[in-house]
Chain A
Amino acid sequence: MPRFNFWTVVMILTWLLLFVLLFIPVGSVLVSSFYDQSGNPTFANYLKFLGEPRFHQAFVNTLVVGFGGLLGALLLGSIMAFCVSRFVIGGGRFVSLLAILALVSPPFIGAYSWIVLFGAGGVVRGFLRDLGINMPPIYGVGGILIVFSLKFYPYVYLMVSGALSNVNRSLEEAAEGLGLTPLQRTFKISFPMVFPALTAGGLLALIHAIADFGTPRLLGRGYNVLATEAFTLYSAEVGSNMSMATTISVILILVSMVFVMLQRYMSRRNVYHGNMINKPSRIRLKGWRNVLAHFAVYFIGLCGAMPVIISVIYSFRKTSGPVFQSGFALQSYERILFNLGDVVRNSLTFSIAAVVLIVIVGTVVGVLVARRTNFNTALLDGAFMVPYVMPGIVIGIAFIAAFNTGPIVLTGTATIIILSVFIRRLPYTVRTTASSLRQISPSMEEAAVSLGYSPFQAFLRITVPLIVPGIIAGGMLSFVTAINELSSSLVLYVGSTMTMPVRIYLLILDGDFGTAAALSTVLLVLSGCAVYIAFRFMGRNEQALL
């Protein structure tokens, strides 16, 4: 049968793809970590990791920013989720727009905006100093944690508000009927119901926090984490140490693996749905409570969106060289137009190429996973987990380790950047396609077959139109990830393949905030358009951004 052959070919190609883009890079990282710089097998790298205080520090610091980010995100996210889903908050849609803004803006923009406000020469800090209040600059672990909390709280907010609005009010009423006080009720009924969502959202924040490279790099000022350590070892002009960089990558993979597993376990437990006849209603607060709730929600929302606001404002400020002058001008945009056109073009072409690949391959493989259960799709499903545990910096280093020499040489090409984005985002598309296919009743296609359409035609005319809006939406969200990707591109770029995030990062290091802000604004506008299109196709669904 030709159909069988088609799917067999798809299966073989999928494994081939995974082999080249996943197993070889991961394998190369692993192998490289067991060799020294001159190519002799050794355990020395791991012994060195265990022996050197600097690496211990990086390991501990990684956990500190991870758990710190988790706690901060939990605190802000659950306050916001609780207020928004239980109280009447004016402009609720605006608030969740603020959360989306925080979510789609890349974290390194956040880092630099906070530097603008609270850095050594920060505006707010300067203003406070004039008032006689001396506050330390934001650099160091404190700054990193503030940025992470404000950047990652939407994960907790979106997951918990989803769960909270699914807690059947009858349960709380029943508890009330049993004589529990409101506080007892919260802890005994509502809390256990949202606990899985809380932990799942918090762990998501943690995973992103330990994978993030830009924030500790820009704000840390010597506060090293595994991601920055790996990058430094890899990129040092003198004494670049690939073996050690890969060793740290392996450790980073292991650390995130633990938390990704935990996160998946908690999300699976997040299934309290029940019947929703008795939807929880929102209470209209009065007096100071109302003010407090509104203040909390808007404070968190605006702080989270602050980087976006700052970069938009600063992008229009008049500059002289890298220094800001008073007044507004379009100079920064002019600079982009005249000097950085190729960077914008690179970003767009790479992202579009990656998204097209992701959509085509992801959809075909998603169909394979959902419809051909007789193949070894469980294994395939498992293999697709791997990119989830690979921080961008590790993917970058892994691709260098795999494709610098040997049969396939890709370093310095646009292809390697496109493929690195492709492999990280592919699992997401495969999963969403497979799950939306599983939601379409098989009798739908059977109905078409019984009406005289061949199975393939039935698939094209019934199933495809039903999943296409979801695929377009998923593609748009992949575009957002692709165009904002910094860490893997930073490892993989050469002069001719520089992308917008890399350029922004370098501009910030050079102190050219005006151009960085303008470039960030362009990035934000592009991301915003993509999110808008995605929501047009699948309805406003913030959960899909997670």
Chain B
Amino acid sequence: MSYLTVSNATKQFGQSFMALNGVSVAVERGEFFTLLGPSGCGKTTLLRSIAGFNDLTSGEITLNGANLRVVPPHQRDIGMVFQDYAVFPHLSVFDNVAFGLKPRKVPAAEIKTRVTQALDAVRLGALADRLPAAMSGGQQQRIGLARAMVINPQLLLMDEPLSNLDAKLRIELREEIRDIQKQVDIATIYVTHDQEEALAISDRICVMNAGRIEQVGTPQDIYGNPQTRFVAEFVGTLNLFNPGAALDAMLGHLGLSAAGAAAWAVRPEHLGLIASGATAPADAAVLDGIVTKFTYLGREAHVGVETPAGNLVVQLANPGMAASRAAGEKVSVVVPQSAPMAFDAEGQRLGRKG
């Protein structure tokens, strides 16, 4: 049995709204597990039921084999990091971090060493005696992190801890969180709606949508092998082909088919561009088209191309000066044989033949 299990969790708000609708997840010891999904999909609801701040309508939660639902929240021994930091403004940084050690009856001398260690780990050692009120968001969240970790909880929960910080700090701090988590080796559930963040720090990601789980897997799985159209679209971007003769011709050329396919799609970075009329590489099809838009982003460039099989975005890595395209230019889009993905009418990924 896994370290933390949630089985068949449902949570109903009001008469009929289901914030969680049959969610089951299993988290292993020391694992960094991320809940990823759009706003309102139930991530916070799931996290808070694990913390005990709201009770499930039905379902089971076990931690280390014990039923968690009968334990009151303050006895669950679960550390939590909040989106709004929730740092206690009337306590010094040191006292904030020491706060959770007091009810655990840790001797004063040990409190001192443990808090000092935790503060050093989040690089706040020098600010121990200050009041947190005037500190920056990044510093406050570091306090929150140290405070949750120092009690050596059985489980660490973080609800969008970085979403109130600016982009650069977000990247910096997420690396730190990841490193510290590996050091202390506490199983962690991390909530975010930022796909890049999820890919960067997780051991496994659970993608949620409308109170259900879409897919659970490693970052590589989620990105490279999405099991549903929702996952493919939410994590990364997706080009959908228009159904019709052009698509059929292309699939025929590549020798691809899937029974019951309702939609074919391809990721922009799997596509290539060649000059109009140039010969296609082996194991690939070409679609002739006209450039509609060129967006230069430094590390990459996005080229919008109107083809008979639909409007496709082609992502070019490391575009040089020469890669620039003008609207109206004739080009051919290269679709490698491995690239297209098929989905059925419910959005489930289908296996391909060919």
Contact = CB atoms under 8 A, between A and B. Distances in A.
Q: Interface extent on B, as a size class?
A: 20 to 34
A121 B89 CA distance: 59
A444 interface: yes
A453 B82 contact: no
A277 B108 CA distance: 45
A240 interface: no
Contact of B104 (A450, A452, A458): A452
Interface in B67-82: 72-80, 82
A457 B103 CA distance: 10
Contacts of A441: 84, 86
Contacts of B52: 449
B195 to A, nearest CB: 25
B230 interface: no
Contact of A451 (B53, B90, B103): B103
A447 B86 contact: yes
A458 B80 CA distance: 15
B90 A447 contact: no
Contacts of A142: none
B350 interface: no
B53 A446 contact: yes
A444 B99 CA distance: 12
B80 A465 contact: no
B99 A448 contact: yes
B59 to A, nearest CB: 21
A465 B103 contact: no
Contact of A452 (B88, B89, B103): B103
B88 A444 contact: yes
A444 B86 contact: yes
B37 interface: no
Interface string B36-78: 0000000000000001110000000000000000001111111
A469 B320 CA distance: 63
A380 to B, nearest CB: 24
Nearest to A447: B86
A450 B79 contact: yes
Contacts of A41: none
Contacts of B222: none
Nearest to A466: B90
Contacts of B77: 452
Interface string B14-48: 00000000000000000000000000000000000
A373 interface: no
A455 interface: yes
Max chain A CB contacts within 10 Å: which of B76, B78, B86, B90?
B86
Q: Interface extent on A, as a size class?
A: 10 to 19
A454 interface: yes
Given A446-B53, A466-B89, A453 B74 contact: yes
Nearest to B150: A451
B86 A452 contact: no
B303 interface: no
A455 B82 CA distance: 17
Interface in A443-479: 443-444, 446-455, 457-458, 462, 465-466
B204 interface: no
Contact of B74 (A454, A465, A466): A454
Contacts of A455: 73-74
A450 B74 contact: yes
A446 B86 contact: yes
B207 interface: no
A448 B88 CA distance: 9
A450 B99 contact: no
Contact of B151 (A451, A454, A465): A451
Contacts of A447: 80, 82, 86, 88, 144, 147
A449 B86 contact: no
Nearest to A454: B74
Contacts of A458: 74
Contacts of B73: 449-450, 455
Nearest to B75: A452
B82 A446 contact: yes
Contacts of A452: 74-75, 77, 100, 103-104, 151
Contact of A450 (B80, B88, B90): B80
A462 B83 CA distance: 18
B148 interface: yes
Contacts of A462: 88
A435 B77 CA distance: 32
A455 B53 CA distance: 11
A449 to B, nearest CB: 5
Interface string A385-416: 00000000000000000000000000000000
A441 B73 CA distance: 18
B86 A453 contact: no
A480 B151 CA distance: 47
Contacts of B103: 451-453, 457
A450 B84 contact: no
B79 A465 contact: no
Contacts of B89: 466
A134 to B, nearest CB: 62
Nearest to A450: B80
Contacts of B104: 452
A457 B75 CA distance: 13
B331 to A, nearest CB: 45
A451 B99 contact: yes
A360 to B, nearest CB: 22
Contacts of B80: 446-447, 450
A457 B83 CA distance: 23
Contacts of A450: 51, 73-74, 76, 78-80, 148, 157
A453 B151 CA distance: 13
Nearest to A441: B84
A539 to B, nearest CB: 13
Contacts of B76: 450
Nearest to A458: B74
Nearest to A444: B86
Contact of A443 (B74, B82, B99, B151): B82
Given A452-B74, A452-B151, A443 B86 contact: yes
Contacts of B74: 449-455, 458
A465 B88 CA distance: 10
B46 to A, nearest CB: 16
Max chain A CB contacts within 10 Å: which of B73, B76, B144, B151?
B73
Contacts of A444: 86, 88
Interface string B82-109: 1110101110000000011001100000
Nearest to B97: A451
Interface string B133-175: 0000000000010011001000001000000000000000000
A345 to B, nearest CB: 37
B141 to A, nearest CB: 12
A447 B159 CA distance: 12
B41 to A, nearest CB: 20
A441 B89 CA distance: 11
A446 B86 CA distance: 9
Given A443-B83, A443-B86, 10 more contacts: A443-B84, A446-B86, A449-B73, A450-B78, A451-B74, A452-B74, A452-B75, A452-B104, A452-B151, A466-B89
Interface of A: 441, 443-444, 446-455, 457-458, 462, 465-466
The 9 A-B pairs with the shortest beta carbon distances in the complex, nearest first, are A451-B100, A452-B103, A443-B86, A450-B80, A447-B86, A443-B82, A449-B74, A465-B90, A444-B86
23 contacts: A441-B86, A443-B83, A443-B86, A444-B88, A446-B51, A446-B53, A446-B80, A447-B86, A447-B88, A447-B144, A447-B147, A449-B52, A450-B73, A450-B79, A450-B80, A451-B79, A451-B99, A452-B100, A453-B103, A454-B74, A455-B74, A466-B89, A466-B90
